[in-house]
């Protein structure tokens, strides 16, 4: 198996939509270039931040196709294929393989309460459908399913599963997962404000929402950490965290509307969000942008 997913920092890629729900292909390409030129190491497409769970399978395939084609081998592309049913997830996984994605990822099946045996069968089927490096996506706050260290280690026995995206604040569980078999599991932190903390306990990198608007900053945390410039990495992380706290005051409560508004101010029009997510009101957007300008955000992200 050709393994390109080694480590680094990747955006949980935003999906740009027109008001009538069409994917904005030109904006997708512009955003990809913004991320790669900003020093990010790959792309994670169609996940929670990308509104994948409220897109049709055909829409999910389209954003994956546009991304893989435009990246053209410059960086790894991981396609999120998770769904509440095995058939859809397997179909998306097979499509990711067909279009040349470098890896897949999936939340556990959600809505119904399932046994560990059922979840393991789901992941086995999806892994077999793709035959690609596979990151499990642990985000219990949204799925209601927590992939703990013991279960994650058990699932490493499934062919092609190489690790996980861990969107949880329990760094003790994260450490237990990462230390398995001398660090064999590829573990990416999904909480943006904890990137540096996770790197210190063994993370291979991070995948997150706010990377979309601060690519250079997140690359700076990672690169300075890897170079041993720990105080520089800390100072950048503190600034990232400060701006995240400002933005969180304006969430709706989803973060996609705020991120798209900020990208528009930066100069990349990513349109609007997919219902039932609602965009920011004009007043809230104006107040958020003014707050960020006052605090020097747009100079920070240049």
User: What positions carry a catalytic annotation?
Assistant: 137, 165
Q: How far apart are CA 48 and CA 122, in angstroms?
A: 19
Residues 6+ apart with CB under 8 A from 254: 273, 277
Q: How far apart are CA 203 and CA 218, in angstroms?
A: 14
Percent of residues in the chain assigned helix, strand, coil, to nearest 5: 50, 15, 35
As given in the structure block, the two tokens for residue 181 are 């078999």
Nearest to 266 by CA among 240, 287, 239, 292: 292
Give the N- to C-terminal CA distance of the chain in Å, as an integer: 38
Q: How far apart are CA 89 and CA 123, in angstroms?
A: 9
- Residue 163, φ and ψ in degrees, nearest 5: 165, -150
* Residue bearing tokens 């393989």: 97
Nearest to 9 by CA among 43, 47, 41, 48: 41
3-state secondary structure of 165: strand
Contact 199, 222 (CB under 8 A): yes
Q: How far apart are CA 217 and CA 215, in angstroms?
A: 5
């Amino acid at each position: 198996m050709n393994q390109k997913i080694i480590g680094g920092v990747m955006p949980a890629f935003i999906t740009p939509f027109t008001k009538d729900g069409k994917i904005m292909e030109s904006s997708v390409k512009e955003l990809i270039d913004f991320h790669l030129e900003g020093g990010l190491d790959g792309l994670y497409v169609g996940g929670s931040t990308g509104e994948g769970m409220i897109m049709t399978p055909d829409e999910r395939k389209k954003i994956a196709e546009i991304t893989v084609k435009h990246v053209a081998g410059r960086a790894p592309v991981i396609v999120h294929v998770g769904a509440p049913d095995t058939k859809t997830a397997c179909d998306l996984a097979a499509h990711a393989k067909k279009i040349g994605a470098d890896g897949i990822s999936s939340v556990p099946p959600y809505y119904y309460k399932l046994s560990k045996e059922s979840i393991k069968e789901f992941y086995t089927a999806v892994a077999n459908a793709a035959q690609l490096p596979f990151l499990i996506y642990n985000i219990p706050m949204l799925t209601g399913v927590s992939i703990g260290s013991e279960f994650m280690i058990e699932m490493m026995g499934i062919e092609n599963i190489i690790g996980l995206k861990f969107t949880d604040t329990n760094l003790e569980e994260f450490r237990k997962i990462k230390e398995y078999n001398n660090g064999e599991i590829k573990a990416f932190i999904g909480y943006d404000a904890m990137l540096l903390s996770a790197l210190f306990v063994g993370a291979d990198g991070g995948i997150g929402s706010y990377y979309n608007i601060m690519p250079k900053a997140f690359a700076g945390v990672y690169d300075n950490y890897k170079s041993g410039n720990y105080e520089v990495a800390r100072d950048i992380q503190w600034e990232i965290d400060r701006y995240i706290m400002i933005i969180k005051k304006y969430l709706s409560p989803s973060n996609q509307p705020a991120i798209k508004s900020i990208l528009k101010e930066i100069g990349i029009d990513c349109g609007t969000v997919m219902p039932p997510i609602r965009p920011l009101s004009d007043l809230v957007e104006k107040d958020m942008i003014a707050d960020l300008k006052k605090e020097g955000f747009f100079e920070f992200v240049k």
